Structure 1
Amino acid sequence: MKTILIYDGSFDGLLSAIFYVFEFKLTNVCIKKREHSQQNFFDAEEVIITDKIKATRVWKGLSKKLSARGRQKIYKAFLSEIPTIETAILHFIKRTFSSEVPIENDYSDPSILEIDKVAKKVDREKHRMDAFVRFKLTKDDIYFASIEPDFNVLPLNADHFKKRYADQKWLLYDVKRKYGVYYDLKNVQTVKLEISSNTNNTSNASTYFTLDEINFQQLWGIYFKNSNIPSRKNMRLHIKHIPKRYWKYLPEKKF
């Protein structure tokens, strides 16, 4: 009989589940997020309560066995939200603790190779968000931008924007996952909000954004349109550098 460990979807929750695996010496085990679990008659389910102390113990243990890059791979793979990624992460961590030599670059192991590939995909998505996010000034004097990335990269983007816009209040909101990161000129904090996906529609602009901001967005769109040279247009190259799925973030693509 397999044991299914159900956790709340947080990274601390995942580490708490992994602590449970080691604590009870489980072998035939699978870890799943609550929303991905499907009860059946053949497996035993255990609901894992997130325990920050236990999660920290696992992470500190990994810091003694893995490089900072190796630990980042685990975290980035987790942010991919791939339904089976917990299995690969568990295997990665079990091998890490059981081996006397570093294993994080042992790509002959399918799970370690998967973690590496997924982490790179998440990293690429993070850098694209860094490049393509466009903030707009709201009537509340907060710079706002919404994103809808394939992976849950918002925690990775926060530090970049804190350094880049240290003198401005801003809110970066993930429409798909319905949460955001807010910077108040001192700290970045995670906030749970329900914000309509229609916020960025041109027809709703006057409801949320200042008149100066709307005029600036229009001016930038006109400049972008008129500065292009049609005879030198290379749409294939353009899409390669800026895939179409990111165009909705760019005001210059709305004119």
Structure 2
Amino acid sequence: MIYIIDGSLESVLCAVFEWFERKPGKVLLKMKQHFEPDAFEEVFSVNNDPVKADRVWEGLQRTLDASWIRKYYCTFLSEKPDALVSLFEFTCYLFLNKSGAEQNYGNEYVLAIAQTARKVEREKHRMEAFIRFKQGADGMFYCGIDPDFNVIPLIMKHFKDRYADQKWVIYDLKRHYGIFYDLEKIEEIYLSKEDQRKLNDPQTDLVSEKEGMYSDLWINYFKSTNIVARKNRKLHMQHVPKRYWKYLTEKQGI
């Protein structure tokens, strides 16, 4: 039996509900956009139903503590091809076993979710540490990012709390959406391709005239505080992987 879902979290939860209601035995979970029908396969298309999804989600909240609910959500945000399968199998496993089943790391799906969530959390922390805003000509601060995972939902609170006194935009160039903070609330936004291209272009007319001066000051400060004799490139690369240098003003031109 093959269950076809649209890839949303709601569709995974509905798939769990349908599995317990129908009890079809072992099923394969496949994404609608990647599925190629076969005349000899038994297929069931899972329809998203908020009522069914809510019942499963409430069951998870009763079963798992807050840290495991976060792991569950982080695994979904990983967007890994097998992440949805892990979530589906993990949820079924939880509901079929006694309390505390999520601590059984001998189960491949428990382990997969714990490991995937750890990677997503690491990416979230790196984005919080390495994002550098540029000031636009209109006074707004902005930054374009392309993280490995969809971490924008996880970093919103950090930047809202830290930069509560200024307007800013963080835009995920890989997933083509972002967030805008207007001093009161955060809203999800979508930019045109042209605006996305301008976002990280240092020559764009979006950049404030003072931005170059601020960048130069920061680069000079970084150079003046750097102790060449204590340079440890290997350790530095472990803490600041090269793929994040594009976000760091002090790394420009290196």
| Alignment TM-score > 0.5, same fold | yes
Pair 1:187–1:20, CA change in 2 (3 A): farther
Q: How many equivalent pairs are there?
A: 251
Structure 2 counterpart of 1:103, one-letter code: A
Range 80-89 or range 40-49, more displaced? 40-49
Counterpart-to-counterpart distance in 1, 2:10 and 2:188: 15
Q: 1:235 to 1:74 in 2, by over 3 A?
A: same
Matched, 1:4 2:6: no
Aligned residue for 2:83?
85
Please show how residues 106-145 of structure 1 align to structure 2 within 5 Å: 106-145=104-143
Q: Which runs of 4+ in 1 moved over 4 A?
A: none
Structure 1 range deviating more: 112-121 or 179-188: 179-188
Supply the distance in 1 between the matched residues of 2:147 and 2:176 (Cα, whole angstroms).
12
Q: Distance in 2 between matches of 1:196 and 1:11?
A: 27
For residue 182 of structure 1, report the CA deviation from its aligned partner.
Answer: 1.7
Q: Secondary structure at the match of 2:53?
A: helix
User: 1:18-39 CA deviation, whole Å, 9 max, x = no partner?
Assistant: 3333333343323333343333
Match 2:245 to one of 243, 247, 252: 247
Range moving further from structure 2, 137-146 or 235-244: 137-146
1:208 counterpart SS class: coil
Amino acid of the structure 2 residue aligned with 1:90: F
> After superposition, where does 1:67-216 map in structure 2 within 5 Å?
67-194=65-192, 195-197=195-197, 199-202=199-202, 204=203, 206-216=204-214
Following superposition, the deviation at residue 197 of structure 1 comes to 4.5
Moved more, 232-241 or 219-228: 219-228
Shift of 1:230: 2.6
Identity fraction in percent: 41
Do the aligned partners of residues 232 and 68 (structure 1) sit closer, same or farther apart at CA in structure 2, a change above 3 Å counting?
same
Residue among 53, 61, 64 paired with 2:62? 64
Q: Does the 8 Å CA contact 2:12/2:88 hold for their aligned counterparts? A: no
User: 1:179: how far off?
Assistant: 0.7
Residue in 1 aligned with 2:228?
A: 230
Larger CA deviation: 160-169 vs 217-226: 217-226
Q: 1:40 to 1:99 in 2, by over 3 A?
A: same
| Structure 2 unaligned residues grouped into runs of 5+ | none
Give SS of 2:101's match: coil
Q: Is the 8 A contact 1:5 1:29 kept in 2?
A: no
State whether residues 142 and 168 of structure 1, in contact with CA within 8 Å, keep that contact through their aligned partners in structure 2.
yes
Instruction: Write the deviation string for residues 149-208 of structure 1: whole angstroms up to 9, x where unpaired.
Output: 111111111111111111222111111111112222222222222343553233x2x411
Contact kept? 2:13, 2:88, Cα under 8 Å: no
| TM-score normalised per structure 1 | 0.89
Aligned residue for 1:182, secondary structure, equals: strand
Contact kept? 1:6, 1:46, Cα under 8 Å: no
Structure-2 change in CA distance of 1:172 and 1:215 (3 Å): same
CA contact (8 A) 2:5 2:30 kept: yes
- 1:102–1:249 CA distance, 2 compared to 1 (3 A): same
Rounded to whole Å, the distance in 1 between the matches of 2:177 and 2:16 is 26
Flag the 1:42–1:165 CA change in 2: closer, same or farther, 3 A.
Answer: farther
Q: CA RMSD in A?
A: 2.0
Deviation at 1:217, TM superposition (A): 1.4
Alpha-carbon distance change, 214 to 20 in structure 1, aligned in 2, over 3 angstroms: farther
8 Å contact kept, 1:137–1:144? yes
Q: Which amino acid aligns with 2:128?
A: D
Amino acid at match of 2:82: T
